[in-house]
Amino acid sequence: MAGEPILVVDDNPTNLKLVGYLLSSHGYEVRTAVDAPDALGQLAQFRPRLILLDLQLPGMDGFTLARRLRDDPAWRDVAIVAVTAFAMKGDEERAMAAGCDAYVTKPIDTRALPGLVARWVGGGAT
C-alpha cells in the first residue's frame, strides 16, 4: 500500500540509498537509520508499519534491537524483516527468535523487494 511508513536500518550508505530510492519510487514514506541508536531516535518520532533491519550493525546489532523492540508492547505490531549480507547457519532461526517476522539475504533482489514490502505493510506475509 503506497504511502505506508517504512524504516530502513543499515550501516551501509549505498544500501540505504538504494533501498530508500526504490521504496520511495513505489510511493512509500521511507526514513533511514545507520545504527540502532539512530533507529531508536527515528522511532521516537516516527511510527513505521515495517522495519527493514540489517542484522550486522555496529554497536548494538540487529538481533538485539529486534529483541528490544519486541519487548516493548508499543512495537509488537510493527513488522520487522531481518536483512543480512553475512548469512551464517542458524542466523535465520536467531532472527526469528529475536522477534523478526521474515529474513532476507543480501544482495536484495530489487525486483522482488517491492512485493515483499507490499505483503508486510498490507497486513502480513502470506
Classify residue 126: in a domain, yes or no: no
* pLDDT single digits (tens) 65-104: 999 999 999 999 999 999 988 667 788 899 999 999 999 8
CA distance 122 to 60: 29
Number of folded domains in the chain?
Answer: 1
Average pLDDT over residues 27-44: 97
Full residue range of the structural domain in which residue 47 is found:
5-121
What is the mean predicted confidence (pLDDT) over 4-13? Answer: 96
Q: How confident is the model at residue 1 (pLDDT cuts 50, 70, 90)?
A: low
- What CATH number is attached to the domain comprising 68? 3.40.50.2300
Q: What's the start-to-end Cα distance of the chain, in Å?
A: 15
Question: Do 9 and 65 contact (CB within 8 A), yes or no?
Answer: yes
Report pLDDT for 125.
41
Q: Which run of H or of E encompasses 72?
A: none
Asked whether residue 112 is domain-assigned, the answer is yes
2 falls in which pLDDT band (50, 70, 90)? Answer: low
Does residue 95 sit within a domain?
Answer: yes
pTM: 0.91
